[in-house]
Amino acid sequence: MKIYPPIEELNQLNGMGHENWIKYRFNRSYDSPSIESDLDIYLDPRTPVKFFDIDIIGNQIAQELYETYGNIYVGMSGGIDSEWVAKCFFRQGIPFIPIIYEAGDLNSADTWWAHKWCEENNLKPVIFKEYINQFTYGIIELSSKMCLRTPAGPYMMSRIGKYVKDNNGTLVLGAGFPEYFPDPNLNYMKNRFKDNKLVHPDGTIKNKGWLMHESDVTIARLIGKDHPCWNFLSWRPEIVLSYINTRTHESSESNKSKIFKCSPRPKSIGVPDQFWKSRIPLIHNWVRLSNRIGSSEVDFIGTTEQLKSILSSGNIYEV
């Protein structure tokens, strides 16, 4: 079982989601680039959570966010997560504006799906477009400033987050969602990068269960103040419990396609590997630096049974 700090210490941590029910701490720095725990994430629901059908809780959250914040923008990456978030607003007739970030044509394999969904539903998205050079400089600057291993997604979200803030809106994303390991989509954490939270030094699996990413914490740090409800898919503990209870033992791609009733697609192709492997001096030097900092890109938050117990009891100290 994951060891939690004393409740007094837990209360002092930053958080994300409704009433900051997900607590986090980012530990990595250039003074301590290789430490036992790069980041710590704790679920802290405080009250017992009931199981809901995933569509019902999705509808409830969409209504709550619109009534609380209004002028909703949904960041659409092209993935199933963000498409389902958009569907939760759309099927209830709740007004929102889709917004799509594009770095040239670098992430076009993803954004094609977002454009397709908007066209099919007669919605005109805001396209926030930058040159690839702007994206390159941006991720390196952000990574250097915050000692990050995974800056691409957070950088994109910070850019559209600023646009949305400047237009008096609130940004909602299909991010901040726990994922299950092992999974084919996360094999790079076992093979290409031996993540110390998930595997032993020889690559054999250490932990099977649920994790959250460094990028989730980074997005919270970057835009959480201006857009407190950015993490739709973990806004309330009910939605996490609903997904965990509904999930089967198939891959994440297959599960999300069936549970969220979206067309199957590879999960977050994102920026192609060829970009990171290029000999562009800036990228090449950044990759060399990132390979020297950090031992993990995630935090392991517990097994399926442990998460069900934490959520259903509402008290992590009694699990």
Distance separating alpha carbons of residues 209 and 182, to the nearest angstrom: 7
pLDDT at 69: 97
pLDDT at 236: 97
Q: What is the pTM for the complete model shown?
A: 0.94
Distance separating alpha carbons of residues 24 and 16, to the nearest angstrom: 8
pLDDT at 68: 97
pLDDT at 33: 80
pLDDT at 267: 60
- The answer to whether 46 and 17 are in contact (CB under 8 A) is no
pLDDT at 285: 76
pLDDT at 284: 76
Give the other-Cβ count within 10 Å of 294's Cβ.
22
pLDDT at 214: 97
- The answer to whether 77 and 174 are in contact (CB under 8 A) is yes
Give the other-Cβ count within 10 Å of 145's Cβ.
9
Out of 3.40.50.10490, 3.40.50.880, 3.40.50.620, 1.10.10.200, which CATH number does the structure's domain 7-318 have? Answer: 3.40.50.620
The domain spans of the chain are: 7-318
Alpha-carbon Rg for the chain in angstroms: 19
Distance separating alpha carbons of residues 115 and 145, to the nearest angstrom: 33
Nearest CA to 254 out of 245, 267, 242 is that of 267
pLDDT at 279: 67
Q: What is the dihedral of CA 22, 86, 210, 144, to 10 degrees?
A: -70
pLDDT at 310: 95
Task: For 146-189, give the DSSP string.
Answer: HT-S--HHHHHHHHHHHHHHHTT-EEEBS-S--EEES-GGGGGG
Nearest CA to 215 out of 291, 296, 134 is that of 296
Give per-10-residue mean pLDDT for the chain (319 aa).
92 97 96 90 95 96 97 96 97 98 92 97 98 92 94 96 98 95 88 91 92 97 98 97 93 92 74 69 78 92 95 83
Q: Is the dihedral of CA 82, 83, 85, 86 positive or negative?
A: positive
